[in-house]
Structure 1
Amino acid sequence: MNETVLSTLEGPIAWITLNRPERLNAMNRPLVDGLIAALSAAEANDDIRAIILHGAGRAFCSGDDLKDLDAQTASEAETQDWVEAIQAVTRHIMRSRKIVIAAVHGWCVGGALEWAINCDFRLFAENTRWFFPEVGYGLFVTGGVTALLTKQVGPQVTKELLILGERHDAQKALETGIAWKVVPDDTLLDAARQFALAIASRPAGAVADVKRAINDGFHSSLEDAMAQETAATVRGFLSPEAQAKAKGF
């Protein structure tokens, strides 16, 4: 049984919880595979109208588990498979007919931040801290964010966020549009719940059609962006220099 991702049903809501709190929910293969399975199950359940993605413990997700990175032992095929699994999460979120809400608190870093950006709505707790560390390691981003962020915040801000990799607070996320709303820490999950219920009160077909039409129009270059990201990310993961920098961090 995969316990790195928990799925709980509450009426029309599927709560999907990243559950490695001892590692700040850092991404490893069981977590990624568990998330894909949970998203697939929610998608197949006609009673579910909205999905809330959040993290157990003190963080949403701290990005890749650096203990698992090893360019010396991973083959190119294995690395390609790992990056494709990360990208599969993006496809599940963005192609879902359900509205996916990210309820973010604590650290939200790297690939996890990219997953949050893939969600339809992003609620950040006031204690959220976020950044893109990948380029600083010599790695690369995923989740289609080279296309998504550029369209959301413009090319200049996107380059700033990705190249400098500086750490930011929840207010910065709100200012850039990465966060939809910022709420007090102790109200995050209830705010997500109430919003999910509001979504669920709307006609399911119309909501799904609106999501699909907006995503198809706004994110028309998503697949091209993700293909470029995958190739660059595989190169980064296989680079001993990049691995050394990541592990040093």
Structure 2
Amino acid sequence: MIDGLAVAYEGDVARLTLSRPAKKNAISYGMWSALSEVVARVEDDPAIKVLVLTGAGEDFSAGADISEFGELRSSAEGAAVYDRAIDAAVRALTGMRKPSVAMIRGNCIGGGCQVAVACDFRFAADGARFGITPAKLGIVYDFESTRQLVSLIGPAQARYFLLSGRLIDSGRAREIGLVNDTVPDAGLEESTMDFVGTLCGRSQASIRGMNRIIGKILAGQGESDEEVDRIRLDALRGEDYAEGVSAFLERRAPAFTYR
């Protein structure tokens, strides 16, 4: 276990837990630095289909560990080094072809919300709170995370979030599209893992190919290219396609084998 991060493997699923409950899972520089490596290991592990991110205890994460800022972000050079670690973590998450799911309860604020937005899906417990607060610290949010937020909830809501620094509840988060679904706290684990099970049961060739194409669209690509054509052709030639068509015609559940 990396200090502040706990990784567990449950069949096809890897669970990454932000694990500093005494500090509301505030993300330290060491945690930011390790996130990209952990995500890369999950992406490269053929036994894993889905990554679930969550927080230990009552919170997802209250954000970056601001107590470190006086030492690590006291100069422009120090801030640049710190920000590169955050950028690497965010890009590792958004660059995954395997789907990532954030399971959120309690505070999901600042850097914690940044991590959640970088995931493909977000499921929240009633009572969760969301906010991104650089305007309270004199920080300008980075380009990549701003782009992700605008893509997810639109420019008007992104401006509300970033410029005001105000917090919203889980109901409002669902209304604006920040989270996919909200459920009572007691049912969060079951509901989230039920959806994760659905992802695990689908064709991984389809999921990873389509996730890659969505990522290219969100990055600003306006039309198909050779990589997209290759992804689609490889899928048609793959075993999952043959199995999916056979299962449909035979009225049975498919048994996909792509890893």
- State the TM-score bracket (shorter-chain normalisation): 0.7 to 0.9
Where does the alignment leave 5 or more consecutive residues of structure 2 unmatched?
222-259
Q: Distance in 2 between matches of 1:57 and 1:33?
A: 22
Q: Which residue is equivalent to 1:236? A: none
Q: Which residue is equivalent to 2:238? A: none
SS at match of 1:7: strand
Alpha-carbon shift at residue 170 of structure 1 (Å)? 0.0
Partners of 1:126 and 1:184 within 8 A in 2: yes
Q: Distance in 2 between matches of 1:140 and 1:76?
A: 13
Alpha-carbon shift at residue 81 of structure 1 (Å)? 1.5
1:192-231 alignment to 2 at 5 Å? 192-220=192-220
Q: Distance in 2 between matches of 1:73 and 1:55?
A: 25
Partners of 1:111 and 1:143 within 8 A in 2: no
Structure 1 residues 72 and 22, CA, compared in 2 at 3 Å: closer, same or farther? closer
Larger Rg: 2
Alpha-carbon shift at residue 27 of structure 1 (Å)? 1.2
Q: Distance in 2 between matches of 1:68 and 1:125?
A: 29
Q: Which residue is equivalent to 1:153? A: 153
Q: How many aligned residue pairs are there?
A: 221
What root-mean-square deviation, in Å, do the aligned CA atoms of Structure 1 and Structure 2 show?
1.8
Q: Distance in 1 between matches of 2:138 and 2:165?
A: 12
Q: Which amino acid aligns with 1:9?
A: Y
Q: Which residue is equivalent to 2:5? A: 5
Q: Distance in 1 between matches of 2:72 and 2:10?
A: 44
Where does the alignment leave 5 or more consecutive residues of structure 1 unmatched?
222-249
Q: Distance in 2 between matches of 1:119 and 1:77?
A: 29
Structure 1 residues 96 and 73, CA, compared in 2 at 3 Å: closer, same or farther? closer
Partners of 1:13 and 1:52 within 8 A in 2: yes
1:16-55 alignment to 2 at 5 Å? 16-55=16-55
SS at match of 2:61: coil
Alpha-carbon shift at residue 72 of structure 1 (Å)? 8.8
Q: Distance in 1 between matches of 2:143 and 2:85?
A: 11
Q: Which amino acid aligns with 1:104?
A: I
Partners of 1:93 and 1:100 within 8 A in 2: yes
Structure 1 residues 165 and 173, CA, compared in 2 at 3 Å: closer, same or farther? same
Q: Which residue is equivalent to 1:103? A: 103
Q: Which residue is equivalent to 1:113? A: 113
Partners of 1:50 and 1:99 within 8 A in 2: yes
Q: Which amino acid aligns with 1:76?
A: A
1:70-219 alignment to 2 at 5 Å? 70=70, 74-142=74-142, 144-219=144-219
Partners of 1:52 and 1:192 within 8 A in 2: no
Partners of 2:97 and 2:208 within 8 A in 1: yes
| TM-score, length of structure 2 as denominator length | 0.80
SS at match of 2:15: strand
Aligned: 1:57 with 2:57: yes
Q: Which amino acid aligns with 2:185?
A: D
Q: Which residue is equivalent to 1:245? A: none
Q: Distance in 2 between matches of 1:216 and 1:102?
A: 21
Q: Which amino acid aligns with 2:121?
A: F
Structure 1 residues 143 and 40, CA, compared in 2 at 3 Å: closer, same or farther? farther
Partners of 1:136 and 1:163 within 8 A in 2: no
SS at match of 2:123: strand
Alpha-carbon shift at residue 73 of structure 1 (Å)? 7.2
Instruction: Please give the per-residue CA displacement for 1:144-176, whole angstroms capped at 9, x wherever unaligned.
Output: 232223233332222111101111100010011
Q: Distance in 2 between matches of 1:188 and 1:143?
A: 32
Q: Distance in 1 between matches of 2:49 and 2:134?
A: 34
Higher RCO (CA < 8 A, seq sep 6+): 1
Partners of 2:153 and 2:176 within 8 A in 1: yes
